[in-house]
Amino acid sequence: MQNLNQQETLRLPVEQLIAAAHVAAKYLPAASSALMSELAVRLDITKTVLREVIAERDQLNTEHKALKQRYGEAL
């Protein structure tokens, strides 16, 4: 794994950061490795849930706009 400085790490897309964390975990002591792996997994889950929530919000916003057009601004 190439060495990444802090500025480069901050610019990584989330998917690459998660992958890098899993790779880095292999080179850490056991306790730190487990922690790094768990953080990577939780970040991946959080990213997925956030994308789902944003998609749901966008769908609800679209439905709300359609109802406002159909029934007027009373909504």
The 10s digit of each residue's pLDDT in 5-48 is: 666 666 889 999 999 999 999 999 999 999 999 999 999 999 99
Burial of 44 (0-12, 13-18, 19+ CB in 10 A): middle
Confidence of residue 56 (pLDDT cuts 50, 70, 90): very high
Residue 20 Cα distances to 10, 46, 48, 49, 59, angstroms: 12, 17, 18, 21, 33
Given this model, what pLDDT does residue 11 score? 80
Given this model, what pLDDT does residue 1 score? 46
Cβ proximity of 36 and 52 under 8 Å: no
Given this model, what pLDDT does residue 66 score? 94
